[in-house]
Amino acid sequence: MSDVRVAIAGATGYAGEELIRLLLTHPTVQLTCLAASAKRERPVPASELYPRFARRLDLAIESLDVDRLARSCDIALLVLPHGMSMDLVPTLLKAGRIVIDLAGDFRLKDPAIFERWYGKTHTQPALLQEAAYGLPELEARTIREARLIANPGCYATAAILACAPLLRAGLVERDGIVVDAKSGLTGTGRKAEPDLLFAEMNENLWAYKVNAHQHAPEIEQALAACGADGAVSLCFVPHVVPLNRGIFSTIYLRLSRDVTRQQVEEAYRNGYRQAPFVRLRPEHQWPRIRDVEGTNYCDLAFLVDGPRRRLIVTAVLDNLVKGAAGQAVQNLNLRMGWPETTGLLS
Ligand SMILES: NC(=O)c1ccc[n+]([C@@H]2O[C@H](COP(=O)([O-])OP(=O)(O)OC[C@H]3O[C@@H](n4cnc5c(N)ncnc54)[C@H](OP(=O)(O)O)[C@@H]3O)[C@@H](O)[C@H]2O)c1
């Protein structure tokens, strides 16, 4: 069987670099095009920009041209700033390509909600309806058939994986879910900003976009579909911490009735029986960011506080892997009918 040709637009960013790392060891994929902005005067050999890929990657990074991108590949992975892919996707789909978009452009179904949270009018509202939400643990069936897959946000992945089985089993209330989340610095992208300087970040920590982060409606949308009762309301407070990688979310939920640890465990086991990348920890074993660093796993642990009718869950993942590039490869595997874990376990 010949390799599937894959192109990456946004190959010079953190998530793009991680995609290259993963796809270089993928057994059935060939990288055929790497693109970024037009700020470089000439195509730059990828191994010049990333010496760690020397002798493994014989491609140059060129400025993005959507027609050339479409010609070069069977599957296009878009790892661009929010708001760019919606204008590229129609050309790629028309050329018969499959698209996996890692930005927020196609995650929300309602164009008005997109506009409110991303501050832009959506130019392709019909494609919002068509796009599959690329969370394999919840949406494998639609991902397998989709020509456009919207890879979830990193914070959203952790929060949804932590809450979905609980809501499906009716163990927790649908309102008042509090997500307190921390992210490593690569979550902000490879950019020069005063707040991101070493001396500002080191030994420091702060909250940002408090109850105003664009992953909040994405989490609410996905969780609303879990269980029969509809809407979910969320308080979401993200923080940036002085780590390179990682998402650490602590989630506080209200129990809907008397619930035992065993019932919660059962809900997770039922929810993730077929999910190779979700690991539930035994009682009293709380996951750490380093446990998942460089991997596609999301590790979960929980505590039932019966007297206060509260459930506390921690969810930990690597923002660049399960939160971005690894999840995109998992989606690619599903879409191509390959084992879900292909290229993701080494
Ligand atoms: N970082 C994460 O943890 C993470 C997790 C989940 C999802 N995502 C999403 O993935 C996307 C990329 O994130 P990132 O962190 O990798 O960002 P990043 O490090 O800032 O990289 C952005 C990429 O987009 C390219 N780009 C910017 N403007 C362009 C233009 N006008 N034309 C063509 N290419 C352009 C950049 O190329 P130049 O080098 O030429 O500027 C770079 O390759 C974002 O939508 C982000 O929300 C990121």
275-296 mean pLDDT? 98
pLDDT band per the 50, 70, 90 thresholds, residue 2: confident
Q: What residue's CA is closest to ligand 1, atom 47?
A: 103
Q: In Å, how far from its chain's centre is CA 104?
A: 10
Residue 187, CB half-sphere, CA atoms under 13 Å: how many? 26
Residues within a 6 A CB radius of ligand 1: 10-16, 36-37, 39, 64, 79-82, 102-103, 153-154, 186-187, 189-191, 319-320, 323-324
Topology of the domain covering 4-130 = Rossmann fold (3.40.50)
How does DSSP classify residue 190?
S
The string of pLDDT tens digits covering residues 212-258 is 999 999 999 999 999 888 899 999 999 999 999 999 999 999 999 99
- Adjacent-strand bridge partners of 41: none
The string of pLDDT tens digits covering residues 88-98 is 999 999 999 99
Domain ranges in the chain are: 4-130, 155-319
Ligand 1 binding pocket mutation candidate from 79, 89, 120 (most atoms within 8 A of CB): 79
Ligand 1 binding pocket mutation candidate from 80, 118, 240 (most atoms within 8 A of CB): 80
Instruction: Give pTM, 2 decimals.
Output: 0.97
Q: What residue's CA is closest to ligand 1, atom 22?
A: 13
Q: In Å, how far from its chain's centre is CA 296?
A: 10
Residues belonging to the active site: 154
| 155-319 CATH, one of 3.40.50.2300, 3.40.50.300, 3.30.360.10, 3.20.20.70 | 3.30.360.10
Q: How far is the CA of 118 from the centre of ligand 1 (A)?
A: 16
Burial 227-239 (b: 16+ CB within 10 A, else e): beeeebebebbbe
Torsion of CA 99, 102, 106, 112, to 10 degrees: -160
Count of residues for the chain? 346
The string of pLDDT tens digits covering residues 54-80 is 999 999 999 999 999 999 999 999 999
- Adjacent-strand bridge partners of 173: none
